[in-house]
Amino acid sequence: MEELREEPDDGTVVRVAAVDIGKASGMVCLRVPHDTIEGRRIQKVWTVASTTNAILELGDTLVCQGVERIVMEATGSYWRPFFYLLEARGLDCWLVNARDVKNVPGRPKTDKLDAVWLAKLAERGMARASFVPPKPVRQLRDFTRTRTVFVQERTRHKHRVDKALQDAQIKLSGVVSDLFGMSGRAMLDAMVAGERNPRTLAELARGNPVKKKPALIEALTGQFEEHHARLPRVPLGTVDHLTAQIQEPDRLIARTLEEITTPHDGPDDETSGEAVTASVLAEKLDAVPGIGPATAQIILAEIGADMNRFPTPEHSVSWAKLYPRTIQCGAKNTAGPAGQGNPWLKGALGEATNAASRTDTFLGARYRRIVKRRGHTKALVAVARSILVITWHLINDPDASYQELGADWHRRHLDPARRTRDLVRQLQALGHHVALTPTAA
């Protein structure tokens, strides 16, 4: 350990510690007031191994020192042992974004200096804590993210199968909506087993593809040889394996949703204090256009079932980076693109937005109104923000339920004078002289 005397204490946190985390160890910086000299601080820097016993010993040391807050950077997944073990020891742990606490450019960069800089930012109140959900929600996150990874991996193998068919001039994916549906999978298995007759393969169609038999025969006519039959065997087996594996995360997600509860502040004394399970909240979110059961589970896993962390819907939208950034230079104000945000949450909201944009609902009408003048990307972000705001209200108020406003909501609430003025301006811009004659009521 190294002990140094520093400048007078003017921070907002009296006793603070910071950890610059690596894979095998972490550099710890402790800053506490001097025992005898008022206005002085003692700084200690030392290395701690990233093992369980070493971290628990660090927790005991910090508790004995009366540390009020310990701050650490989000470094890959290496921060998790430090955060979880020190949090269980009773310490107030803050996880901060490395981009927000970057040191001043031009100065030397070492683990020791990074830890000292992080501690100084923390004691002066210049660090901002990231959202780390409680343990049950973290477990739900693990299950939903694992399922998402499995689904993405299965999709990649499905694309490999379609690529092999395209190489053999088989255009089956252009006729059937789902290549791995009942009809498509039956044809794939028959082709791999040795069937080459397009008419025989088309007879395997079930459901809606039965009406497309001429198109199926044309799409199944190609140069599918034994070489092409060998290529899809492994991807098809992998798709079946992943489909079976996805069932286990589904079961664990359903069980974890029943275990996560949030207190219900009801309107009367009888319902006040009752706990609402996350599974009930997921069913409420499922009523929102575009949100399905899987998307509702992902949203709850990423933002949690307790909205105390986000006092207002704007806080959740800002955390998800669905607000355009404001860029000001002198008298010029411009709106920059939205930030990266949580990729798992934004991915789920993106799927929900794409689905909602094709519906005859308020959200679908909102997308179509915006896309005409702002483009596809900005319209998606705007609708995703609306979905997240709706989600916040449904989770925050267990008694609330989604009420569809209708696709004609904007038209019904349109200001006639403003609409008239806009249309007149458009006609005048086209070179027309407009004279308005009001009709009788």
pLDDT tens, position by position, 233-249: 899 999 999 999 999 99
Name which of 362, 353, 384 is nearest 290 in CA terms: 353
What is the CATH code for 2-123? 3.30.420.10
Instruction: Report helix, strand or coil for 264.
Output: strand
pLDDT tens, position by position, 376-416: 999 999 999 999 999 999 999 988 999 999 998 888 888 88
pLDDT of residue 4: 41
pLDDT tens, position by position, 307-321: 988 999 999 999 999
pLDDT for residue 70 is more than 90: yes
Q: What is the pTM of this model?
A: 0.84
Per the model's pLDDT, the better-predicted residue between 5 and 418 turns out to be 418
pLDDT tens, position by position, 119-174: 999 988 888 888 999 999 999 999 999 999 999 999 999 999 999 999 999 999 88
Instruction: Report the interhelical angle of 293-303 vs 135-167 (nearest 10°).
Output: 140
pLDDT for residue 8 is more than 80: no
Looking at residue 203, the DSSP 8-state letter turns out to be T
pLDDT of residue 338: 78
pLDDT of residue 6: 44
Q: Which of 38-42, 72-76, 104-108 shows the lowest per-residue confidence on average (mean pLDDT)?
A: 104-108
Beta bridge partners, 41, equal 33
Instruction: For tokens 């086209």, name the residue.
Output: 430
Confidence of residue 2 (pLDDT cuts 50, 70, 90): very low
pLDDT for residue 437 is more than 70: yes
pLDDT tens, position by position, 190-223: 999 988 999 999 999 988 888 888 999 999 998 8
pLDDT of residue 247: 94
pLDDT of residue 273: 58
Phi, psi (rounded to 5 degrees) for 359: -100, 160
Name which of 21, 79, 86, 78 is nearest 57 in CA terms: 86
Question: Parallel, antiparallel, or unpaired: how do β-strands 16-21 and 69-73 relate?
Answer: parallel
pLDDT of residue 10: 46
Beta bridge partners, 264, equal 274
pLDDT of residue 441: 58
pLDDT of residue 18: 94
Q: What residue spans define the domains of the chain?
A: 2-123, 138-250, 268-396
